[in-house]
Structure 1
């Protein structure tokens, strides 16, 4: 999946929006096997996920960022984009 990203997800609070997002992502090459799951989280009930499932725990922050593709090309150093936001989904970066 891409050069460095293995998977990803984002949460929404409406099933219709989650299904629409999943359907929009499905034809794109960088979003393999998108699916919608339900999770009991404070701000979101539905999560659209794609790619590999993340591990339950991370050895360190660099490993977590590398899984989601937040690395500078060729450097291997994490690079969190300025547009990145904190998600309430436990699977989101």
Structure 2
């Protein structure tokens, strides 16, 4: 059971980096630093969108309209950090 919790923690850590990369890449696209017509960049953007959007969309639907500010990645990161903390504090002590 300990190894299952380790794998879950690893996946959550990787997902944290994916969320951050997605947010940074969206800023770079918005400020026209990165061109999405490049096939390699488009493949990266498409992958990040497909991985993060299923969890970001429900959060965006629940948030009020804040204009051009999207805080859904921050809320998703807070949820991931909460889940990691929950695993460390409550699940790991009971695993032999």
TM-score by length of 1: 0.28
Of Structure 1 and Structure 2, the greater helix share is in 2
Of Structure 1 and Structure 2, the greater strand share is in 1
